[in-house]
Amino acid sequence: MYGPTDLKKNVLITLDGQPYKVIEYSQKVMGRGGSIVNVKVKNLITGALLPKTFKGQEKIEPAEVETRKVQYLYKDDDKFYFMDPESFEQYELVADMVGEAQDFMRDGDEMEIQFYNGTPINLTLPKNIWLKVTYTENAVKGDTTSSVQKDATLETGVVIKVPAFIKEGDVVSVDTETRAYRERQK
């Protein structure tokens, strides 16, 4: 069992028999040592967001979720197909469940699917992914400081902001949560 202060971003909990993921977390300390924890949770089955407040010594049940490594195979209409590399079992997820993760997915990439009672409920990408820059404007000569940002299209089609010194063909690391450029491959 979790206490309210054990809740942090990305912790999985059970509320009313449904699995939820903590999206936002804030804690207010009240007088005499009491505290209130405000969270925003996402239902991993319906996708609904819900604000929730926990007080003092409330007990919160962790979600019994199984995580399996999978390999992304392909997309067909609004369905995405994945395979367990050990058992070769295949899983199908709808576009709503994949969400913005599809902006960073390439055929053959490894990621994780979370299962609740044997049903796939959530897709998790690695925190950082290396992708090739397929299009970007050339930097203006002399304007190559790292504070100047420009758009770059990556091999998956997603457009992110990168420093001016990045060129077509460079491979860059992208934070999949914030969609931010991290570094260029050496």
pLDDT at 157: 94
List the chain residues with pLDDT less than 70.
Answer: 33, 140-146
pLDDT of residue 135: 95
Contact partners, residue 42, CB within 8 Å, separation at least 6: 20, 21, 23, 48, 49, 50
Q: What is the pLDDT of residue 3?
A: 84
**What's residue 142's pLDDT?**
61
In this prediction the pTM is: 0.73
Tell me, what's the pLDDT at 33?
66
pLDDT at 150: 93
The pair of structure tokens assigned to 83 is 């395979």
For every residue of 112-169, DSSP letters joined together read: EEEEETTEEEEEE--SEEEEEEEEEPPPPTT---TT-EEEEEETTS-EEEEETT--TT
pLDDT at 91: 93
